[in-house]
Chain A
Amino acid sequence: MSEDPKLGALRKGFLEFLVLRIISGSTVYAADILKKLATTDFATQEGTLYPLLSRLRREGLLDYQWQESEAGPPRKYYCLTSAGQRQLAEFDAYWARLNQTIDSMGS
């Protein structure tokens, strides 16, 4: 995929927002998140996602629980903390404002 690096930079900023949104829907583990993103413009790999998840957890936006998997060791299932939900609400509000702004400009 060859595209404008500026768009790549934009996308990177939004990835965090999208990950929070996916986790807010239901408790998921990392492969679920990757699967959801894979079909979108935000297709991500483990190498990017794991460090991001770890940072978001350190910032107190999400937490995880160990759950047994069908084969082998248990998996981490992620969920949003109340701080994460507040952050997501802020993001949502900001996104709506941003859309309005973009729509009202130009034309």
Chain B
Amino acid sequence: MRPVISVSLNGRAYQLEDDAHAALADYLDSASRALAGNPDQAEILADLEQAIADKLERCLNPHKNVVSRGEIEQVIREMGPVDSGAGSGVPHDDVSSDAAAAGGSAAGAGTATARPAGATTSKRLYQISDGALISGVCKGIAVYLDVDVTLVRLLFAIAAVLTGGLAVLAYIVMMFIVPYANTPEELAAARGLPFNARVLVEQAKLKAAQLADAAAHAAMHNHSREARAQWKAEWRKARAEWRQEWRRSRAHWRAYRWAGAPAGSIPPTPPMPPLAHFISGLIWAALGLLAALLALTWLFALFSLVTTGAVFGWMPLHVPLWVAIIGLILVYQAVVWPLRAVRHGMMPRFYGYTYPWHPWHAFWDALVGLLLLAVAVWYFTHHGHDLQQSFDSLQQNLQPAWQQLLLAWHTLVHGAH
């Protein structure tokens, strides 16, 4: 564990490890000393801080937000020692700093080319619940590999048949260990895209640039205190608008990547009063919790069915195991479907954009679901007996652990009442 120190570099916050902070403080101190007596000292220091901040951006990404000593030293090497600059430009002042500048030239040249590479994020595997058939493992893999989700599902189904159910076990394991992508940052990371994708930045930039340009121009030609205050206020307003624009375009971009629809075709939704926003947020969260509970219950039911031949000791009809499993899947889908529909319906209210839940997608998903079901039925009718045997042996092996789990579950359920 290392202590971390937060610093503000020209208005942006950065987190530095303690020795990195010391190195940066040293550098800025020496810069400040070198510029002592320079009438533009404060301004040059702000510019230097800005340049350091720009260089730091390239060592940071959504998964790494602390700057180490090595990184800060590299940045300082690239910055070079600060020249007093107060002289008349006649080459009498320190030659040493110039030699250092020449020595650092290789590093300096590297900076310019290294920056774009530093802006990309690494790809990560996530589960993606939107547009998922069961849990979102296939969807996550499809997004990771940048292929159609149907292809992954079919491959999974074929693998399940070929490996005699092992792939299904793999799916269940992944369901538990692969994290869900919830935030826009995580969704971007699932695709290996930098979160601040250039497209939306350019779009938002253009608008703010016009405002800032006009304001800055006014401020430059009128140095009075009032003009500056006015410029500041205008700048703040422009920034707020720009941020809002950014958020909106980010949502657009996200929906766009999702559906492959042109971003412009998604109509913006009007803003919601804060109370309504809060309440719908609560409902949204409650529905999410309910969905999670249902999924968990379903999993327990499935496990119970497979290991004991009955759902929590309850079995109304005497049907083969495979029919019961399919029945359980159908019941789960039927229970969960209205919940999903409500959540999809709430999405524009909550996120501020319309989720392009096209009927065609639903149809396609249903088709694949049916296909999977058909494959499963075919498999169980042909190999049901073998599978029953392997399940039986599995049951014998897992019985003690399952009893424990069941006990824990019962105490949890009955303890709540």
Contact = CB atoms under 8 A, between A and B. Distances in A.
A65 B216 contact: yes
Interface string A23-39: 00000001100110011
Given A70-B201, A73-B12, A48 B83 contact: yes
A51 B220 contact: no
B99 A5 contact: yes
B40 A58 contact: yes
B91 A30 contact: no
Contact of B91 (A9, A31, A76): A9
Given A30-B51, A51-B84, A45 B104 contact: yes
A35 B34 CA distance: 24
A50 B101 contact: no
Given A10-B91, A68-B208, A71-B196, A50 B108 contact: no
Interface in A45-85: 45-48, 50-55, 57-58, 63, 65-76
Interface stretch (B74-82, B123-131, B320-328, B348-356): B74-82
Of the listed residues B85, B112, B213, the one surrounded by the most CB atoms of chain A closer than 10 A to its CB is B85
Contacts of B89: 13, 16, 52, 55
B1 interface: no
Interface in B1-32: 10-12, 31
B115 to A, nearest CB: 9
Contacts of A35: 112
B228 to A, nearest CB: 12
A1 interface: yes
Contacts of A3: 102
B43 interface: yes
A44 B43 contact: no
B204 to A, nearest CB: 9
A50 B47 contact: yes
A45 B209 contact: no
A28 to B, nearest CB: 13
Contacts, number: 147
A44 B51 CA distance: 14
Given A12-B98, A48-B83, A54-B40, A68 B103 contact: no
Given A54-B44, A65-B217, A68-B212, A47 B97 contact: yes
Interface in B253-278: none
Contact of B109 (A38, A52, A69): A38
Contact of A65 (B53, B83, B101, B213): B213
Given A54-B38, A71-B57, A72-B53, A48 B220 contact: no
A54 B41 CA distance: 9
B304 interface: no
Given A13-B91, A54-B85, A55-B86, A67 B213 contact: yes
Contact of B112 (A16, A38, A69): A38
A96 interface: no
Contacts of A45: 78-80, 100-101, 104-105, 108
Contacts of B242: 68
A38 B112 CA distance: 9
Given A8-B95, A44-B105, A48-B98, 5 more contacts: A12-B95, A43-B101, A43-B108, A45-B108, A48-B83
23 contacts: A10-B91, A11-B102, A13-B90, A30-B47, A31-B112, A35-B112, A38-B108, A38-B109, A43-B101, A43-B108, A48-B82, A48-B85, A51-B83, A51-B85, A52-B85, A54-B85, A66-B212, A67-B212, A67-B216, A68-B205, A68-B242, A72-B12, A73-B12
| Shortest Cβ-Cβ A-B pairs, 3 listed | A51-B85, A45-B80, A43-B105
